[in-house]
Structure 1
Amino acid sequence: MELINLFTKSIFIENMVFAYFLGMCSYLAVSKTVKTAVGLGAAVIFVLAVTVPVNYLIDTYFLQQGALTWLSPEFAEVDLSFLTFIMFIAVIASMVQLVEMTVEKFAPALHSSLGIFLPLIAVNCAILGGSLFMQQKDFVGIHEAGVYGLGSGIGFFLAILGIAAIREKIAYSNVPAPLKGLGITFIITGLMAIGFMSFMGIDL
């Protein structure tokens, strides 16, 4: 039940886009069509689901003070936490490179439509934020980190898919001239964030 709570919370209550407003650059740039939004959202799910538990293992067994005691008791005082950002980003960049090569190989049209925003997942603050929040929350096992990473990815997917579907329809709407483009998109994003906040009262 705790894992279900964590999964639901990471999708709706602590949504990367609507709760923390992370990853807004790709959220706004790639959400013009549902097709590209689905492609990027799926890539983000994969990257978060893999990098968060991998970074959990790196943090637990290499970076924290005393984490290297499994090698030898002599390393009990070693603290490599200053390498956190470098190691986390290295893992993220390698996973993003794998995703980019896979998409380019099997879906060249999607790769072309996503453009520069696919490799830029490596510097997407939502991806790094997932690993840093994992570190902050002190999960007790890799299973919790994995569930949190998967839920965070699905939350980003739902956010970008929802705004993409609305933006496709809104293209045929009579939007006031001053609000066309990013203006109405930010307003809709705020309303969607309020909607996601309604899940805060749910306790499974």
Structure 2
Amino acid sequence: MAYVALFITYIFINNFILTQFLGLCPFIGVSKNSESAIGMGMAVTFVMGIASIITWLVYNLLLIPLQLEYLQTLSFILVIASLVQFVEMIIQKNSPALYQALGIFLPLITTNCAVLGIAVMNITEGYNLMESFTAGIAAGIGFTLVLVLMSNIRERMDLHPVRRSFKGVPIAFISGGLMALAFMAFDKSLLTNLLG
């Protein structure tokens, strides 16, 4: 039951983009079309899930025994950077079109604060290994959900007239704000009602 609660929490209640405001750069930059949004979301979900496992292991099996907890952020960034390089090589080899569509935003997953945020949050919340992995995957799914929703909104807005002063990023931020308001309907009482 705890794993279902983690999924609901990180997808809807504590969504990294809409409630934590982490990962806004790819939210605005990659959400121009659905294909790029799905590709970026899958890449971020993979990196978040694997990074959650590896950073938990590094922290609990290396940093704590050696009393090097102060190196947490540095070691987490190194792990995330290595994973992103791995994902970038795979996407470049298997899907050159997606690699081109993601452009500069793919290497920027390294500095995506949402990925580092889930790694740090797993430690501060005291999650075990499986809870950390579940939280990482759920946070990635929530990230992907919001990217895909935003890309669909932006694709529809391209088909309709929008005042010139609102075109592009301004209307994207307004739409994102409205999405954040909609996601505020999900709160802790949702978990209580669903899970008892």
TM-score range relative to shorter protein: over 0.9
What are the ranges of 5 or more consecutive residues in structure 2 without an aligned counterpart? none
Q: Counterpart of 1:73?
A: none
In structure 1, the residue corresponding to 2:176 is in which secondary structure?
helix
Q: CA RMSD in A?
A: 1.0
Give the counterpart letter for 1:52 in structure 2: S
Matched, 1:98 2:83: no
Give the counterpart letter for 1:82 in structure 2: Y
Shift of 1:148: 0.2
Q: What's the CA shift string for 1:9-43, capped at 9, x where partnerless?
A: 01111111001111111111111111111110000
Give the counterpart letter for 1:167 in structure 2: R
Q: Counterpart of 2:25?
A: 25
Runs of 4 or more, structure 1, over 6 Å off, are none
Q: Counterpart of 2:122?
A: 134
Counterpart Cα distance in 1 of 2:181 and 2:73: 32
Give the counterpart letter for 1:103 in structure 2: I
Counterpart Cα distance in 2 of 1:119 and 1:87: 18
Q: Counterpart of 2:130?
A: 143
Counterpart Cα distance in 2 of 1:15 and 1:193: 9
Counterpart Cα distance in 1 of 2:171 and 2:146: 16
**Residues 1-204 of structure 1 mapped to structure 2, 5 A cutoff:** 1-64=1-64, 68=65, 78-139=66-127, 141-200=128-187, 201-203=189-191, 204=195
Counterpart Cα distance in 1 of 2:166 and 2:101: 26
Give the counterpart letter for 1:153 in structure 2: G
Counterpart Cα distance in 1 of 2:21 and 2:103: 22
In structure 2, the residue corresponding to 1:102 is in which secondary structure?
helix
Q: For the pair shown, which has the larger CA radius of gyration, 1 or 2?
A: 1
Give the counterpart letter for 1:171 in structure 2: D
Larger mean CA deviation between 97-106 and 170-179 belongs to: 170-179
Give the counterpart letter for 1:165 in structure 2: N
TM, length-normalised to structure 1: 0.91
Q: Matched residue pairs, number?
A: 191
Counterpart Cα distance in 2 of 1:57 and 1:136: 14
TM, length-normalised to structure 2: 0.94
Q: What's the CA shift string for 1:100-132, capped at 9, x where partnerless?
A: 000000100110111111111011111111111
